[in-house]
Each structure stands twice: as C-alpha cells, then as structure tokens.
Amino acid sequence: MKARHPTQLIPEKLLIDGVIGCQFHASSPYDVNFNINSLRWSMHLTWRSTVLAAGFDTTRVKLTTGSGLHDHTVAEHALGMLLNAARRFYEMRDYQTRGQWPGHLGGPQPDREPGTFRTLRDARVLEWGLGNIAKCLVPHLVGLGSHVNGVARSAGVRAGVEVFGEDKLAELLPATDALVMILPGIASTRRALNKERLALLPKHAWVVNVGWGSSVDVDALFEALEAQEPLPEGNKLYKAKNLGAEELVVDNLRRFLAGQDLRNVI
C-alpha cells in the first residue's frame, strides 16, 4: 500500500488496483480515472454526486463512498456545538481569555426563559437532512430531553422522528430553538437556508451546520464560505461573537482484496 498527499499527482504508469481518497473533489489536481489504467476500485469520503461529477468510467472502475464512516463523530460534533451554544461555553472561554469572571453566567439561571436557548432539555431541535448522521444524532438529543423533528425531501417517520417535507419549513422554523443543517453540496441544496428562511427563525435560535457551507446563504458568511472552505486564516468571521467554526475503509479493503462485493457502491 502506498500513500500520497491529496495535492500530489498520481503517476500515469503507477500500477495500482485501488485508491482510497480521503478528500476527493471533482476539481482535484489529479485524475484517478484517466491516469491509472489498472485501477479497479476507488473509494471516496465525499458525497455521491461529487464523485460522479468527476466523470469516472463506472463500467471499468468500481466506486464506493465513505457512507457510515464518520456518522457518529460528526453527530457528536454537532451535539458539542449545540451544547456550546446552549451552555454558552464560547462566552466563558472569551472571558477566561481576558482574565475576567463572567458573573452574568453564574448564579440562578432559568432553564426555559422565553426567548432564550439555554438548555437542550425541552428544546425544539429541527434536523434538516435526515441521512445517517442525523439518525445518529437523534438518540443523543432525545436522551437530553429535546423535542426533535426533521425536514427532508419526503415526509414520514425516520429514526423515531417525525419528518416533514421542505414545504413545511415556513411553519417549522418560527418554532425552532436550534436548526441542525446536514445537507450535501448539490445544486438543489445550494443556498437552501436563504435570507427569507433565516428571517423566520426566532432571534434566539441557533444554526449548526455540519453539512456543506454552500447550503447556507447569509450575507458575508455565505460569501466567505463560497469563496473558500474552510475559511482562510485571519478571516473576520472567526472573530464573530455568535459564530462557532468547527471501520468502513478497512472492511471494504478486505472485501476488495478477497474479491467480495463492496459496500456503498455508487
């Protein structure tokens, strides 16, 4: 097995059967499909649509995604961001950095003061995008006492959560304490959370986006994410007060070497 940095070109004459690409994008500086004639399998840790957009010859190369690889870690990350927002850890850290005591954050604190988001208990959390990550996040939120609903292209019940169609967003957003975005970077989700929909959220509501940045359209934030993702060093958004920026591979490799069917084939 050989490892190469994502920015390194793959030699045309390199004899290789499979490639595991950790950060593949259609605009990557190498073309696995055309440079490696011996390639039979390529695994990518990005969205299905992004891989297909690269123009791979699927009649010759078996393509798989990393679906399920980081569901639990990203769900845990989203939970951490929600707790950071509700419990205001970010503000405590700011005061600590300045060597000050945040007195207003101590003492008796009402759990459900109207117009605030202070706890996940009884909080109204809306998950937009009900894929594997969202399904992993649900039990964590429910365990902390949150009321969870979902939004997806089709309505129904998934992971024990009532899921509404996107046509119900105008009714759901005004009653949301925290919106968790887990949308892929495809044409239909571009600027999904636009200015009109943002205006429907209560002033105390938080938006946690662990999906693609292109799904959010919010003035300077959207422009910055559209221009470069992740944000470049020194970007002013890092200093915004209310902004927080934050074993499948082995199994498929064994299957490939053993000549068995691969998981998550596109």
Looking at the domain assignment, is residue 191 inside a domain?
Answer: yes
pLDDT digits (tens, 9 = 90+) for 229-238: 566 677 666 6
| CA-based end-to-end distance of the chain | 24
Give a yes or no: residue 50 inside a domain.
yes
Q: Who has greater pLDDT, 78 or 24? A: 78
User: Is pLDDT at 175 greater than 50 in this prediction?
Assistant: yes
Instruction: Say whether both 58 and 136 belong to one domain.
Output: no
pLDDT for 148 beyond 70: yes
Range of lowest pLDDT (4-18, 77-91, 222-236, 251-265): 4-18
- pLDDT at residue 210 in the model: 93
What's the pLDDT tens digit per position in 55-113?
667 777 777 877 777 899 999 999 999 999 999 999 999 999 999 988 888 888 777 78
In three state form, how does the secondary structure of the chain look?
A: CCCCCCCCCCCCCCCCCEEEECCCCCCCCCCHHHHCCCCCEEEECCCHHHHHCCCCCCCCCEEEECCCCCHHHHHHHHHHHHHHHHHCHHHHHHHHHCCCCCHHHCCCCCCCCCCCCCCCCCCEEEEECCCHHHHHHHHHHHHCCCEEEEEECCCEEECCEEEEEHHHHHHHHHHCCEEEECCCCCHHHCCCECHHHHHHCCCCCEEEECCCHHHECCHHHHHHHHHCCCCCCCCHHHHCCCCCCCCHHHHHHHHHHCCCCCCCEC
Residue 206 shares a structural domain with residue 105? yes
Co-location of 40 and 95 in the same domain: no
Is pLDDT at 134 greater than 60 in this prediction?
A: yes
215: domain CATH number? 3.40.50.720
Contact 31, 8 (CB under 8 A): no
Residue 181 and residue 106: Cα distance in Å, rounded?
Answer: 31
More confident of the two residues 189 and 226: 189
Q: How confident is the model at residue 33 (pLDDT cuts 50, 70, 90)?
A: very low
Residue 95 dihedral angles phi and psi, to the nearest 5° = -65, -40
Q: Do residues 186 and 201 both lie within one domain? A: yes
- The answer, yes or no, to whether residue 16 has pLDDT greater than 90, is no
- Higher pLDDT: 10 or 126? It is 126
| Together in a domain, 179 and 57 | no
156 backbone dihedrals φ, ψ, rounded to 5°:
155, -160
Instruction: State the pLDDT at residue 1.
Output: 42
Is residue 3 over pLDDT 50?
Answer: no
Whether 49 and 75 share a structural domain: no
Q: Which residue range is the domain that position 49 belongs to?
A: 18-65+247-257
Same domain, 158 and 31: no
- Per-residue pLDDT tens digits for 102-114: 888 888 877 778 8
pLDDT of residue 225: 44
| Position 266 pLDDT exceeds 70 | no
262 or 214, higher pLDDT? 214
Above pLDDT 90, what percent of the chain?
39
Work out the mean pLDDT of the chain and round it to a whole number: 78
pLDDT above 60: residue 246: no
Q: Are residues 179 and 58 located together in one domain of the fold?
A: no
pLDDT, residue 34, reads: 46
